[in-house]
Amino acid sequence: MLIDQNSRLYIYAITRDYGFAPNPFFGVCTLATCKPRIRKQARVGDWILGVGGAELQEHSRKAIFLMRVSEKTTFQNYWNDSRFANKKPLRNGSKVRMVGDNIYHKDMHGDWLQEDSHHSNADGTVNQSNLKRDTGETSLVLISDYFIYFGSKSREIDLTLLDYKRIRDYRKLELNKNPVAFEYFQEFLDSNSSLVNMIMADPCDFESSSARVDQKTGAVT
């Protein structure tokens, strides 16, 4: 059964969609940065739904991606795991490699290292505010082997039926306690079942994949 009896659905607004958070490439969808509270709380079997925020204009309130959490790991294990080597960023590589989200690991002293990435400063040095936000509350990474990434072909979804009326921060929905939301979410999954583990389109902001973002200020360079 796709939706476990105790599954929760986390819904959050995506401000920018570069293919970095989430990162849908190389056969698995990962959420390795941003949204620390979701990364900390979500359990295996839970669902994550990202919808376009107001900044994404024509994609606002539409589904950008959907993933079922199949595995949780730490930043260090994510870095060391050969399955995710291609998710390590290459800033002089393709757009897909530029937005690699496998960026955190520790040095021999136990201090965090941040790879030259979408979350680094413009010159590639460590962005301390991004590092603090990404690692401060949790070092967990969410991994999915069952996902749909709509990207710039965002899909209409009724957020009211999912009890997410205001696009703000995130919403945790106990599916087994809300039969209307459960039924609608199951219907949405069924209607898109042919798209599982597919990237339907490039990320909404993929043309700017070389950009750097400061989460504290919102500045994009």
Residue 113 lies in a domain: yes
Residue 93 lies in a domain: yes
Residue 156 lies in a domain: yes
Residue 216 lies in a domain: no
Q: How many folded domains does the chain comprise?
A: 1
Residue 218 lies in a domain: no
| pLDDT tens track for 59-68 | 999 999 999 9
Confidence of residue 4 (pLDDT cuts 50, 70, 90): confident
* 4 vs 213, more confident: 213
Residue 214 lies in a domain: no
Residue 118 lies in a domain: yes
187 pLDDT higher than 90:
yes
Residue 2 lies in a domain: no
Could you tell me which residues come within 8 angstroms of residue 25 by beta carbon, excluding any fewer than 6 positions away? 19, 86, 87, 96, 99, 199
In 3D space, the residue among 156, 162, 174, 164 whose CA is nearest the CA of residue 41 turns out to be: 174
Domain span at residue 101 reads 8-205
In 3D space, the residue among 208, 214, 162 whose CA is nearest the CA of residue 13 turns out to be: 162
Q: What percent of the chain has pLDDT over 70?
A: 99
Alpha-carbon distance of 178 to 184, in angstroms, equals 10
